[in-house]
Structure 1
Amino acid sequence: MTGIEIRHYDHRDADELRPLLLEVYAEVYAKAAESDPFASVDRFAEGLDGWSQRPGWSCAVGYDGDGQAVGYAYGAPLPKDARWWGGLLTEVPADLIAETGTRTYALSELMVREPWRKTGTARRIHDALLAARSEDRATLLVDQEHPKVHALYESWGWQTLGDLRPRIPNAPLFHAMLLPLPSPGGPR
């Protein structure tokens, strides 16, 4: 199960890619969606539609040898004066969260179907998505109810900035994390 092909997409592909992204999400989050309104497919679809229209949105999808999507990751650069940091509950220096529109890439989603978990696939998709980014750093949010996921990101070099609760109905409490990005083509 290690051989996957990773394909890259941008906002021009979003409409065509949308059904596939929703299908994978519905499978990966089926159990959570049964009891958590924040995990519903409809809520995710709204978020996907918003993210995929942002300038600089990019998506990396991993496919197996049969052309079946095994997982994906997507995100976009944070705009100047981004609302991303609005729910930050930890005090940090203002310059640390000042956005220019080109400083920070927000990794919004990373998910892998069950058979492909614990195979290195998530890391490959993650690295492929971030490899060509020109931003100085990346950020992501990890639900604090998932300490194993948090530890996994730490093992990949991510550092916790603080606690953040997005201003979205039913949003859980997250760890906001940062990862310095090398310049494109440089060492990773």
Structure 2
Amino acid sequence: MIPRLRRYAGTPSDLEEVTAPLIAVYAEVREPLLHLPNYSVQTFTERLERHGREPGFGVVLAFDAEDRPVGYAYGNTVENGDRWWQRMGEVDARFTSRPALALKEIGVTISHRGTGLARRIHDELLAGRSEAYVSLMVNAAAGDGKVRRVYESWGYTVIGTSQPSPASPVLAAMIRRTTAG
């Protein structure tokens, strides 16, 4: 069965509903990295609570036939001057002059990788959004560069680098137009 996608808006009740399945699927997706401070479940939970209160927060979860979460993505709207942009250094004003979607997290369990599920989740998160651009940050070393190449195949280009915290690796900051852009 093809996993079912569920979209959630940023209401407090939605955040409460998605927190447990998001944490569960995150822990499975990031299992090999959970011993690192930046990837721990506690750190993720703290980020999720903060991001869930930010403007334009939205989540897409994928569930298998047994209603287990097998993939996710979430993000929120960022505006000019937001710390999202500030962490990247100089960013071309054409990207920051209008609200953009910051894709904060995306992941798919091992058993569903290579099936196109990540792209389906990504596209569902972007569907119906009004932001002109979507931006993300990726560890350029992830999968020996494969993850960055996947994003490039989806139309993203590198616009800078960022290190969101001292415990974080240096990330490639990427951006692409949305269908609204």
TM norm structure 1? 0.88
**Match for residue 85 of structure 2?**
85
Mapped pair 1:118 → 2:119: no
In structure 2, the residue matched to 1:164 is 162
Report how far residue 88 of structure 1 moved.
1.8
Tell me the distance in 2 between the aligned counterparts of 1:178 and 1:98: 11
User: What is the deviation of 1:66?
Assistant: 2.2
Structure 1 stretches of 4+ with a deviation exceeding 6 A read: none
What displacement does 1:80 show?
A: 4.2
Distance 2:128 2:140 in 1: 29
Provide the secondary structure at the position in 1 that maps to 2:96.
Answer: coil
Percent identity over paired residues? 37
- Give CA-to-partner distance per residue, 1:12-34, whole Å, 9 cap, x none: 20012111111111111121122
CA–CA distance in structure 2, aligned partners of residues 40 and 163 of structure 1: 22
Output the amino acid matched with 2:176. L
The 1-side partners of 2:39 and 2:84 are apart by 19
Question: What is the alpha-carbon root mean square deviation over aligned residues?
Answer: 1.7
Preserved contact between residue 82 and residue 99 of structure 1 (Cα < 8 Å): no
**Counterpart residue number, 2:10:** 11
Q: Aligned-pair distance for 1:145? A: 1.7
Query: 2:22 touches 2:69 (CA, 8 Å); kept in 1?
Result: no
Counterpart-to-counterpart distance in 2, 1:172 and 1:98: 24
Q: Which moves more between the two structures, 19-28 or 133-142?
A: 19-28
Deviation at 1:165, TM superposition (A): 1.5
* 2:171 corresponds to: 174
State how 1:97-108 maps to structure 2 within 5 Å: 98-100=96-98, 103-108=99-104
| SS, match of residue 8 in structure 1 | strand
> What residue in structure 1 maps to residue 74 of structure 2?
74
Q: Deviations over 1:94-129 (max 9, x none)?
A: x245355xx200000101111111111111101111
Task: Measure the CA separation in 2 of the matches of 1:141 and 1:88.
Answer: 10
Distance 1:86 1:119 in 2: 35
- Residues 8, 92 of structure 1: CA spacing in aligned structure 2 closer, same or farther, 3 A cutoff? closer
